[in-house]
Amino acid sequence: VLSVLHSVYCAMQEGPDIISTVEFNHTGELLATGDKGGRVVIFQREPESKSEPFSQGEYNVYSTFQSHEPEFDYLKSLEIEEKINKIRWLPQQNAAQFLLSTNDKTIKLWKVSERDKRPEGYNLKDEEGRIKDISTVTSLQVPVLMPMDLMVEVSPRRVFANAHTYHVNSISVNSDYMTYMSADDLRINLWHLDITDRSFNIVDIKPVNMEDLTEVITAAEFHPHHCNLFVYSSSKGTLRLCDMREAALCDKHSKLFEEPEDPSARSFFSEIISSVSDVKFSHSGRYLLTRDYLTAKVWDLNMESKPLETYQVHDYLRSKLCSLYENDCIFDKFECAWNGSDSVIMTGAYNNFFRMFDRNTKRDVTLEASRESSKPRAVLKPRRVCAAGGKRRKDDISVDSLDFTKKILHTAWHPNENIIAIAATNNLYIFQDKLNSEMH
């Protein structure tokens, strides 16, 4: 999978609508993006064509809708921005698709369905839909369904509101497909998909006195197979695995995953860069993938004392932490992703770079998502960053010339194939590995 990747599609979003989340559905046929303007754009994969063998794998716009609008909390005099923080697809149960989207406060369930037929021949309505005078109806006819151009309809089915005091950072659908959880800085709530007026608080780390607050929840996710297990990460770099069978309120964790700190390496920035920005269960459910500012780590659920694997994403930035603190980049929250077989992990970096690590061969590669590489079937060339004062080779990029305004925070990997989606500010890039379409 670390051989060349081919760019098959690049969607340029207009204006300042920066992409804030990317998510494939469970089959990988649909891809949803959310942006800071509250919009959700759904892309659909094109079916394979005999006349155009290279068209298979391309994603084109399927539907666009406004998920959230800006609101105002009059009690707290706070503006609630419309930015989509997370999108999660529900497994498909019938012809329609369902997805959850959330901003800082409100979660919505959306139904996405297709319509290619329309009813005609009503007895009590005319062709324009107006009600007829009953006295003019002299005969009855059976309405029929007539073919029409395909229309994609998106409709809100549920609105889950007023349950979070703080900003929602995660939503995760349970493997029972009936419940999901939402997490903010201090609490995690459990919802039933059919019930909007109440939720159950399953984690609450808010201290009695807010001056005693030492950490916040940064991400949370359900186990892919066991509906009673979930994990949440904290700003202190810890992971807590909780079992809902033990207690209704999971303030006491079942397992605590924490790497002991090296006292000799401690600095002013240690706590900031150790904060976990994302946590993902592997598809098998055996491992956890986490991302902090400088590293990606793989944890084994059976070993709490230290990570199984640690990957340096951009260790060359250690010398730049002071300037990264001054321009607030040190607080950027990078996401991470597994491939379908859990053998490769991916995460973003600066300068529109993203990193891939093969867990079996221990090889890694840095690739760039750019307009030059977005031409159809263009080949991505590996990039290399040279640390300050290091020996530079041709095509190496100096750490001093990195553009920190170009950052890849959001990535997603097709559940079965080597297709990845990369959100680079307000551009969406979809790359496919044509040489290695089968997972290792």
Half-sphere exposure of 27 (CA within 13 A, CB side): 10
Comparing C-alpha atoms, which of 242, 223, 356 is closest to residue 287?
223
CA distance 158 to 222: 21
| pLDDT (0 to 100) of residue 379 | 77
CA distance 327 to 330: 8
CA distance 102 to 160: 9
Tell me the H-state helices in 137-182: none
What single DSSP character describes residue 391? Answer: P
| pLDDT (0 to 100) of residue 265 | 76
CA distance 430 to 10: 6
CA distance 337 to 280: 7
Tell me the H-state helices in 241-351: 270-274, 321-326
Half-sphere exposure of 403 (CA within 13 A, CB side): 11
Long-range contacts of 311-314 (CB under 8 A, 24+ apart): 311/345, 311/355, 311/357, 311/364, 313/347, 313/349, 313/355, 314/349, 314/350, 314/353, 314/355, 314/385
Q: Which residues lie closer than 8 Å to 362 by C-beta, 6 or more apart?
A: none
Q: Which residues lie closer than 8 Å to 239 by C-beta, 6 or more apart?
A: 231, 232, 233, 256, 257, 258, 276, 279, 288, 290, 299
Collapse the DSSP code of 37 into the 3-class scheme (helix H, G, I; strand E, B; otherwise coil) and give the result: coil
What the block records as the tokens of 238 is: 């810890």
Burial bucket for residue 230 (CB in 10 Å: 0-12, 13-18, 19+): buried
Q: What is the mean pLDDT of each run of 10 residues along the chain (440 residues)?
A: 46 64 95 94 81 67 93 83 95 93 95 84 76 79 79 92 92 96 96 95 93 94 96 96 92 91 82 95 97 96 95 92 93 96 96 94 91 70 78 79 92 93 88 53
| pLDDT (0 to 100) of residue 439 | 32
| pLDDT (0 to 100) of residue 375 | 66
| pLDDT (0 to 100) of residue 108 | 97
Sign of the dihedral through C-alpha 98, 99, 100, 102 = negative
CA distance 287 to 341: 12
CA distance 392 to 121: 75
CA distance 319 to 168: 33
| pLDDT (0 to 100) of residue 431 | 87
